[in-house]
A and B are shown apart, each in its own frame.
Chain A
Amino acid sequence: SQELEQSPQSLIVQEGKNLTINCTSSKTLYGLYWYKQKYGEGLIFLMMLQKGGEEKSHEKITAKLDEKKQQSSLHITASQPSHAGIYLCGADSGTASKLTFGTGTRLQVTL
């Protein structure tokens, strides 16, 4: 079965700093999803990547999928308190509709 490992597990950054979260898969990724979760709330869809080398950006968040399609990174530029939360990567194995999720990265942004 597919496993996803996220690093770091938690991160504290000062407002305005950049940061990167990584997601590494044990198998080839057919679809990689990034979600954000605030405590006590649901998951907010951020981005989906499918093609090797693909890169997508939305506001100050950029996600990339490497050429071999086994690792993705999420980069936040000039972090703000509103970026705080838990970031989850989810993988589509290509043969089923269920997603496998990483254990998440907890981000805190200090003033």
Chain B
Amino acid sequence: NAGVMQNPRHLVRRRGQEARLRCSPMKGHSHVYWYRQLPEEGLKFMVYLQKENIIDESGMPKERFSAEFPKEGPSILRIQQVVRGDSAAYFCASSPQAQGYGYTFGSGTRLTVV
């Protein structure tokens, strides 16, 4: 049973480009969460999704960031017109139900904006 799969592991983008980060949850998990870890800072919640629904996006920046979890395929975190301040590690977690039971994290995508 594969764990939470994130790709790519490393992503380099020039300022102004778009970044697409993918997350495939564990088999049987229908809840997906995205977190961001800025250099020398802790993990910050961004968004919580279930299939085809955004449940809580209270941690998402108001502009340029969006997330989806379609009926088929992985969850996507999309960052438009990236800036240097977007450089961070982005982690995805999944769980089989709400309330954090069985919360499992992926290995993350490290985004570097040059």
Q: Please list the residues of chain A having a beta carbon within 8 angstroms of any beta carbon in chain B.
A: 31, 33, 35, 40-43, 45, 48, 88, 90, 92, 94, 96-104
Contacts and interface: CB of A to CB of B under 8 A. Distances in A.
22 contacts: A31-B99, A31-B100, A41-B107, A42-B91, A42-B105, A42-B107, A43-B43, A88-B43, A94-B99, A96-B48, A97-B48, A97-B98, A97-B100, A98-B33, A98-B59, A99-B45, A99-B100, A99-B103, A100-B45, A101-B44, A102-B42, A103-B42
A101 B99 contact: no
A33 B31 CA distance: 18
Interface of B: 6, 31, 33, 35, 41-45, 48, 55-56, 58-59, 91, 95, 98-100, 103-108, 110
Contact of B43 (A48, A92, A101): A101
Closest 5 CB pairs of A and B: A42-B107, A43-B105, A98-B45, A103-B42, A101-B43
B91 A43 contact: yes
Given A97-B98, A98-B33, A33 B103 contact: yes
Contact of B103 (A40, A42, A45, A94): A45
| Interface SS majority for chain A | strand
Contacts of B58: 98
B84 to A, nearest CB: 20
A7 to B, nearest CB: 14
Contacts of B103: 33, 45, 99
A97 B33 contact: yes
A43 B105 CA distance: 6
Given A35-B105, A41-B108, A99-B45, 14 more contacts: A33-B103, A40-B110, A42-B6, A42-B108, A43-B105, A45-B104, A88-B43, A94-B99, A97-B31, A98-B45, A98-B48, A98-B56, A99-B103, A102-B42
A90 B55 CA distance: 20
Interface centre among B41, B45, B58 (most CB of A within 10 A): B45
Contacts of A41: 107-108
Contacts of B56: 96-98
A45 B106 CA distance: 11
